[in-house]
Chain A
Amino acid sequence: SAVISQKPSRDICQRGTSLTIQCQVDSQVTMMFWYRQQPGQSLTLIATANQGSEATYESGFVIDKFPISRPNLTFSTLTVSNMSPEDSSIYLCSVRLAGLVTQFFGPGTRLTVL
């Protein structure tokens, strides 16, 4: 497995502002993903973070709202832009290690938008 850290672990933000979430992994990974888990719901994939190029977004998610960066193999950021209360959720970074198909999750960032 891998040790995955996320910062911040939680935050309370005002509507209209933006928050950047960081994900750091202790080993080189092939793929990094960002998920959202709304209260009482399962996990929804936002996008695949690609190293050195634009992220691949899932249907319903756009780059203007959720810009993602991945400057190297072990680090990625997700920004939640122009937030509204509907963005209140847990945001999870997930990674797949080189040569493996198994996928592991970071501890998550609990976001509340007022």
Chain B
Amino acid sequence: QKEVEQNSGPLSVPEGAIASLNCTYSDRGSQSFFWYRQYSGKSPELIMFIYSNGDKEDGRFTAQLNKASQYVSLLIRDSQPSDSATYLCAVTLNTGTASKLTFGTGTRLQVTL
């Protein structure tokens, strides 16, 4: 079982719609959860992070965490063509040593005109 799982997509949404990106993780002791955006040919860029159950909003982005279900999601409201990218979910596992990020394989989002 992969430690962090994402649907590879592509997820296609029309401009102005809500894009919903999902991520599940296997280690119940996971502490922190991150969403990165990666444009083709570029390095990952941090969008949001969340530690506590519930929702965290930042502009058009909302991260949702449900530790009981081991599930974290990213909602993008009013999707724009510039949001088209691969979105990587990352989790800090409880290793007992300096925390390390484990990445999912990413979901490719396409926002269509």
Chain B residues numbered 76-113 whose CB sits less than 8 Å from any CB in chain A = 88, 92, 98-106
On whether the beta carbons of A48 and B46 are closer than 8 Å, the reply is no
Q: Closest A-chain residue to B36, C-beta based?
A: A105
On whether the beta carbons of B103 and A43 are closer than 8 Å, the reply is yes
Give the chain A neighbours of B34 by CB distance below 8 A.
Answer: 102-103
CA distance A101 to B93 in the complex (A): 12
Q: How far is the CB of A45 from chain B (nearest CB, A)?
A: 6
Contact residues of B: prevailing secondary structure: strand
Q: How far is the CB of A52 from chain B (nearest CB, A)?
A: 15
Decide yes or no whether A53 CB sits under 8 A from chain B.
no
| B 25-63 to A, binary, CB cutoff 8 A, 1 in contact else 0 | 000000010101000001111100100000000000000
Q: Closest B-chain residue to A45, C-beta based?
A: B100
How many chain A residues touch B (CB < 8 A): the figure is 19
Decide yes or no whether A31 CB sits under 8 A from chain B.
yes
Q: Closest B-chain residue to A103, C-beta based?
A: B101
On whether the beta carbons of A42 and B104 are closer than 8 Å, the reply is yes
Residue among B49, B88, B98, B104 making CB contact with A102, cutoff 8 Å: B49
Decide yes or no whether A92 CB sits under 8 A from chain B.
yes
On whether the beta carbons of A48 and B100 are closer than 8 Å, the reply is yes
CA distance A33 to B105 in the complex (A): 19
| A 81-114 to B, binary, CB cutoff 8 A, 1 in contact else 0 | 0000000001010000000011111111000000
CA distance A92 to B38 in the complex (A): 13
Give the chain A neighbours of B88 by CB distance below 8 A.
Answer: 42-43
On whether the beta carbons of A31 and B98 are closer than 8 Å, the reply is yes
- Which residues on A are within 8 Å of B, measured CB to CB? 1, 31, 33, 41-45, 48, 90, 92, 101-108
- Which residues on B are within 8 Å of A, measured CB to CB? 32, 34, 36, 42-46, 49, 88, 92, 98-106
Could you name 5 residue pairs across A and B whose Cβ atoms are closer than 8 Å? A45-B101, A101-B49, A101-B92, A101-B99, A103-B34
